[in-house]
Amino acid sequence: MKDWARRHRRTLGVLGAVLAAGMAVLWAFVVPERADEATGLRELAIRAGHPVAWALLAVFGVLVAAGASERARSLVAWAALAAYVAFVAALVL
């Protein structure tokens, strides 16, 4: 399986990037109702956290397709996780 994924890295990276970009656009317009109740950073995290996480995953897909370094991919993946954690924390709190 690893060999197959390595051989199809570009296709998988581009496909993942396109799907994640679509999700980023979708979540930019679909905003949880809790955003209307929140203010300040909490409102920003609810409104922007989810689409930013998906946008960063799209960047990750492009980096995979381009054969970017593990460090660059890891940095973007961790940033996506941080954006999603901020989104979930803002929803829960």
**Domain ranges in the chain?**
2-92
Instruction: Region of 30 please: left (phi>0), alpha (psi -120 to 50) or beta.
Output: beta
20: Cα separation from own chain's centroid? 7
* pTM greater than 0.85: yes
pLDDT tens digits for 12-52? 999 999 999 999 999 999 998 889 999 999 999 999 999 99
